[in-house]
């Protein structure tokens, strides 16, 4: 790690008024994939992030598994190679092998602070300009074409311009500002996949605890106990998933928030306050329950911390030229404009769906370029959880590695569009597929 002066750091930071080939909004897995791919294709690239760090939920929640960043245990190619190599270069304290189940396979558990630092250093290595504390709040338009982004907030007004904008922010604020249509919630009742305040516990005896849990991804034995404690008045979650971290005796706990809250819309400030407060109690009550019940391996555990913010699975999905559905994944439909393949299965994050939606999907199914093109807006791509898909389509193979692959496709498309002087919609998709093949990323 090379020590930098203040000026050397400032040289990597984007500043208001500048123009780039490509601007990426959002520094989660999709945004990381987009920015790296764009820069690797030779485009002058800027990434803007509203939080104080890059990494998305994996940095927010603490060792949240980044599943599908590998493929069959090996490098996935493309942007994944520098991403994984950078993190592994920091030693065994930075990453550990993830689970190998059909739900959670091919992943890494990454120390959140190594992730945060690693992404900044990787952007600097590859030549991506970055700016933190800079949410994209609205679009700068010329007719139906977006040409720039406004950032407004505590630190005043800033504006950035580019030939192509990628909205990988999750909520799709700028895409909506540009005139795109948002789709929200489940068709039947408007429900969203739950938000999560993850937490981390220490003093865990791994072997005894994991023997108690059993082999399933979510332990039926443990959940039976939690349902009993819920009846006694404790705040409990709909599921708990436990992941070993890079620190001995420390375990990361994923969950689906407090049961019984009804619909939580993460774009509603009242709902966010409810989720933050109740998420904290879920963590506190967890510690009390496992102590009272003397859960093997957790008798002496303590709460290290809760996540720095809520982890959000679903808000807006932007309507694109094609709306991807769960049947596309179930049937393994082939698309002539495929730009990535998604691996894994259906994962609703704890939201109960009808039984017929829990069938298997084709592992490694196509995802079309048209679902990265916001309908009615030129000069823009969408990637990550705000991509064009139905609620159920969004539950299929939504692991962070798949979101990074979606960003990668958008980043390649944006760079090529800028270089050819056309909009992403005008770009020949075969050129994207060819470039992905050259990057050893995807083959079609």
Say yes or no: 322 and 299 in one domain: no
For the chain, the helix, strand and coil percentages under 3-state DSSP, each to the nearest 5: 35, 25, 45
Q: Supply 433's token pair.
A: 């597929």
Within 10 angstroms of residue 334's Cβ, the number of other Cβ atoms is 11
Q: In percent, how much of the chain has pLDDT > 90?
A: 89
Say yes or no: 302 and 333 in one domain: no
Q: Which domain holds residue 174?
A: 6-186+314-438
Say yes or no: 216 and 241 in one domain: yes
Mean pLDDT computed over 18-47: 98
From the list 163, 113, 123, 87, the residue with the least C-alpha distance to 13 is 123
Quote the pLDDT of residue 356: 45
Distance CA 332, CA 345 (A): 12
Average pLDDT, the chain: 95
Distance CA 310, CA 64 (A): 12
Total of domains in the chain: 2
Ramachandran category for residue 101: left, alpha or beta (phi over 0 → left; psi -120 to 50 → alpha): beta
Please write the tens of the pLDDT for every residue from 57-116.
999 998 988 999 999 999 999 999 999 999 999 999 999 998 888 778 899 999 999 999
Q: Which residue has the tokens 């809760």?
A: 306
Say yes or no: 161 and 51 in one domain: yes
Mean pLDDT computed over 3-22: 96
Residue 8 CB burial class (10 angstroms; 0-12, 13-18, ≥19): exposed
Please write the tens of the pLDDT for every residue from 173-228.
999 999 999 999 998 899 999 999 999 999 999 999 999 999 887 889 999 999 99
CATH number of the CATH domain containing 112: 3.50.50.60
Say yes or no: 323 and 381 in one domain: yes
Residue 217 lies in a domain: yes
Residue 118 lies in a domain: yes
Say yes or no: 210 and 267 in one domain: yes
From the list 113, 116, 122, the residue with the least C-alpha distance to 49 is 116
Q: Supply 311's token pair.
A: 């982890």
Please write the tens of the pLDDT for every residue from 345-387.
888 878 876 544 556 788 899 999 999 999 999 999 999 999 9
Say yes or no: 318 and 432 in one domain: yes
Read off φ and ψ for residue 352, nearest 5 degrees: -75, 130
pTM score, whole prediction: 0.96
Ramachandran category for residue 17: left, alpha or beta (phi over 0 → left; psi -120 to 50 → alpha): left
Long-range contacts (CB closer than 8 Å, 24 or more residues apart) made by 221-225: 222/295, 225/289, 225/293, 225/295
Residue 443 C-beta-side C-alpha neighbours within 13 Å: 3
H helices of 335-399, where? 391-394
Say yes or no: 51 and 154 in one domain: yes
The yes-or-no verdict on residue 395 having pLDDT over 60 is yes
From the list 139, 136, 140, 83, the residue with the least C-alpha distance to 108 is 83
Quote the pLDDT of residue 362: 87
Say yes or no: 104 and 230 in one domain: no
Q: Which residue has the tokens 């932007």?
A: 318
For residue 277, give every residue at least 6 positions away whose Cβ sits within 8 Å of its Cβ, in sequence order, or none: none
Say yes or no: 144 and 275 in one domain: no
Mean pLDDT computed over 312-323: 97
Read off φ and ψ for residue 109, nearest 5 degrees: -95, 120
For residue 59, give every residue at least 6 positions away whose Cβ sits within 8 Å of its Cβ, in sequence order, or none: 53, 112, 115, 116, 308
């Amino acid at each position: 790690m090379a020590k930098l002066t203040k000026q050397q750091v400032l040289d990597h930071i984007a500043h208001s008024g500048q123009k780039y080939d490509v601007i990426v909004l959002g520094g989660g897995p999709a945004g990381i994939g987009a920015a790296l791919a764009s820069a690797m294709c030779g485009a002058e690239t800027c990434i803007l992030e509203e939080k104080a760090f890059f990494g998305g939920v994996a940095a927010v929640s603490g060792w949240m598994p980044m599943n599908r960043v590998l493929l069959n245990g090996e490098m996935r190619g493309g942007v994944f190679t520098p991403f994984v190599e950078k993190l592994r270069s920091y030693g065994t304290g930075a990453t550990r092998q993830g689970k190998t189940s059909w739900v959670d396979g091919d992943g890494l558990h990454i120390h959140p602070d190594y992730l945060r630092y690693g992404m900044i250093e990787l952007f600097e290595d590859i030549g991506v300009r970055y700016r933190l504390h800079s949410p994209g709040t609205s679009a700068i338009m010329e007719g139906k074409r977006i040409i720039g982004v406004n950032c407004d907030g505590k630190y005043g007004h800033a504006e950035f311009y580019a030939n192509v904008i990628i909205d990988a922010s999750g909520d799709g604020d700028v895409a909506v500002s540009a005139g795109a249509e948002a789709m929200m919630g489940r068709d039947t009742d408007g429900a969203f996949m739950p938000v999560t305040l993850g937490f981390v516990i220490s003093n865990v005896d791994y072997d005894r605890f994991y023997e108690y849990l059993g082999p399933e991804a979510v332990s039926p034995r443990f959940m039976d106990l939690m349902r009993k404690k819920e009846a006694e008045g404790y705040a409990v979650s709909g599921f708990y998933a436990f992941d070993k971290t890079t620190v001995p005796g420390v375990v990361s706990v994923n969950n689906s928030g407090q049961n019984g809250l009804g619909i939580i819309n993460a774009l509603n400030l009242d709902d966010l306050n409810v989720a933050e407060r109740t998420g904290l109690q879920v963590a506190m009550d967890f510690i009390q329950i496992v102590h009272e019940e003397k859960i093997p391996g957790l008798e002496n555990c303590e709460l290290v911390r809760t996540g720095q913010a809520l982890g959000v699975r679903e808000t807006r999905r932007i309507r694109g030229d094609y709306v991807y559905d769960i049947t596309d994944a179930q049937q393994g439909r082939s698309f002539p404009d495929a730009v990535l393949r998604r691996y894994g299965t259906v994962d609703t994050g704890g939201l109960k769906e009808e039984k017929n939606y829990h069938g298997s999907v084709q592992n490694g199914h196509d995802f079309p370029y048209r679902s990265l093109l916001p309908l009615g807006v030129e000069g823009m791509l969408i990637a990550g959880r705000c991509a064009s898909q139905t609620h159920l389509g969004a539950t299929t193979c939504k692991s962070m590695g798949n979101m990074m692959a979606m960003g990668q496709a958008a980043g390649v498309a944006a760079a090529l569009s800028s270089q050819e002087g056309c909009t992403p919609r005008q770009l020949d998709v075969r050129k994207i597929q060819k470039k992905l093949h050259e990057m050893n990323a995807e083959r079609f």
